[in-house]
Structure 1
């Protein structure tokens, strides 16, 4: 019984603290390198991108010191481990700054090879990131029903598909051919993470409602969001996989293998007829993203 409590506490620490996002960020970035056929990025890049990913999510869980107790288990975790989270944040911030400086020194001299499309993508994403949390811009995009999940999906697609290619170009001063594989992987990651973001909103239904965050679930209800929004999105993802596989003339067994993440996501969604504990959502939904990355990597290693 004591060992089980220790294991449960470790699992809570990993998922409640967003530490697991480091693994997700690394896995999705490596999937991009392998699926597009590019060399791996530097350690500095992976350190930078994984640390800023966790920092981005940690910002949402800032808890005022006046709050001592919460009915939300995850909020309570941040209250109980306020000092540890602060040190963890400082550590990540230090890693991000050091890695960012290293990347700047190596990449800035080659900035001229970038076209306006790459620069626009960076500026546009930076604006969305700042607008998401209302960093004194007078807007908070995360409070807009139709924007929040798409902003999250866009951010994940940018940091795991767009940026690894961008930094490789800057580091090696080389133009890589951006073909349909890149655009399909970007749109696939975007849509997959949009669905995951909406699924996450299911777990935060009561909390978001109290904080006046107009998510799909708050506005339309739990079951309507699940049956009329999430499942149709999953079907579109399934269809896009099939069309891509047929377009590239991939064998049936590889198409079926590529469909594993989207099928698992559909099965998981069908089982959400009743609300689950918050830790269940974190493990299962984050696990779906990891499964996507693993299947993407294996689809190349096993079949190419």
Structure 2
């Protein structure tokens, strides 16, 4: 949805439908990978872990199905646009493989065996890494795909940079709030996330709020350049205010479903607000 929001806000054509399907499936497969090692002896940390343990077969076969579908989608896109792909400038390959390696190193798929580390245990940088990857998927990959589909270079304008920074900081805040959910387990595992290092209140007041303000400043610059109307500006302001409210609500402990639905849901709300803001001002 963030990729579609980006296209609307920059006034760009949408990517092919199959690309969006593949882009949706890839993170689902990626994040479900973390639960592949759950078995009957795995301690039940929360309701989500319990669900994955009780539905191992469903998770396994759904993963197999999604992986096969994802391979099929990207094979189709590579076959269809092969000539355009091989003519891409080197910088496009550097960006694509750079993000791919960050994803691989995050769970230690290769790095843990070869070098004994993974980016998931990188402490303070963990949230920024997650936010960076999400922002690349939302703002950079669609532009690369548009270059492949249309032959036009949409990186020539600097507007995408401000949108990228806004989404990077917004997704980083989202990742930090998600770490609040894992505070007890991360503390026991000595993972130096922001909330483990600074505590809950300091993380909210001195990390989350400043990052949200920085993202809001980036958005304001983008809005001024694009000459947003009051309606469009107001709609895009809603996710920032909503995220701020959610952050302060975390001063109290909530159920696992609150974190899964509300924190992930605010990204969907952000995308819908950005799209509606454009549609209502056309």
Judge same fold: TM > 0.5, yes or no. yes
Report deviation, 1:81.
Answer: 0.8
In the TM superposition, 1:6-21 aligns within 5 A as: none
1:63 touches 1:79 (CA, 8 Å); kept in 2? no
Instruction: Tell whether 2:57 aligns with 1:79.
Output: no
1:106 touches 1:171 (CA, 8 Å); kept in 2? no
Instruction: Tell whether 2:175 aligns with 1:197.
Output: yes
Query: Gapped runs of 5+ residues in structure 2?
Result: none
In the TM superposition, 1:287-302 aligns within 5 A as: 287-302=265-280
Instruction: Tell whether 2:251 aligns with 1:276.
Output: no
Q: Distance in 2 between matches of 1:103 and 1:114?
A: 15
1:195 touches 1:233 (CA, 8 Å); kept in 2? yes
Instruction: Tell whether 2:151 aligns with 1:151.
Output: no
CA RMSD in angstroms, aligned pairs only = 1.8
1:44 touches 1:102 (CA, 8 Å); kept in 2? no
Aligned to 1:96: 70
Report deviation, 1:68.
Answer: 5.0
In the TM superposition, 1:35-74 aligns within 5 A as: 35-67=9-41, 69-74=43-48
Aligned to 1:114: 88
1:32 touches 1:161 (CA, 8 Å); kept in 2? yes
Report deviation, 1:247.
Answer: 3.8
2:162 touches 2:219 (CA, 8 Å); kept in 1? no
Tell me the TM-score normalized by structure 2: 0.92
Q: Distance in 2 between matches of 1:64 and 1:255?
A: 45
Q: 1:105 aligns with which of 79, 84, 93?
A: 79
In the TM superposition, 1:182-193 aligns within 5 A as: 182-193=160-171
Report deviation, 1:234.
Answer: 1.3
Report deviation, 1:211.
Answer: 3.0
What secondary structure is seen at the aligned counterpart in 2 of 1:130? Answer: helix
Aligned to 2:146: 168
Number of residue equivalences: 278
Query: Gapped runs of 5+ residues in structure 1?
Result: 1-26
1:107 touches 1:167 (CA, 8 Å); kept in 2? no
CA 1:297–1:268: 2 relative to 1, 3 Å: same
Answer with 171-180 or 260-269: which moved more.
171-180
Aligned to 2:233: 255
Aligned to 1:236: 214
Residues 232-256 of structure 1, C-alpha deviations (whole Å, 9 max, x = no match): 1112222222333234433334322
Residues 206-239 of structure 1, C-alpha deviations (whole Å, 9 max, x = no match): 1222333221112222222112111111122222
Answer with 170-179 or 261-270: which moved more.
170-179
Aligned to 2:263: 285
Q: Distance in 2 between matches of 1:79 and 1:225?
A: 32
Answer with 260-269 or 65-74: which moved more.
65-74
Q: Distance in 2 between matches of 1:107 and 1:147?
A: 36
Aligned to 1:21: none
Report deviation, 1:69.
Answer: 4.6
2:123 touches 2:194 (CA, 8 Å); kept in 1? yes
Q: Distance in 1 between matches of 2:105 and 2:267?
A: 25
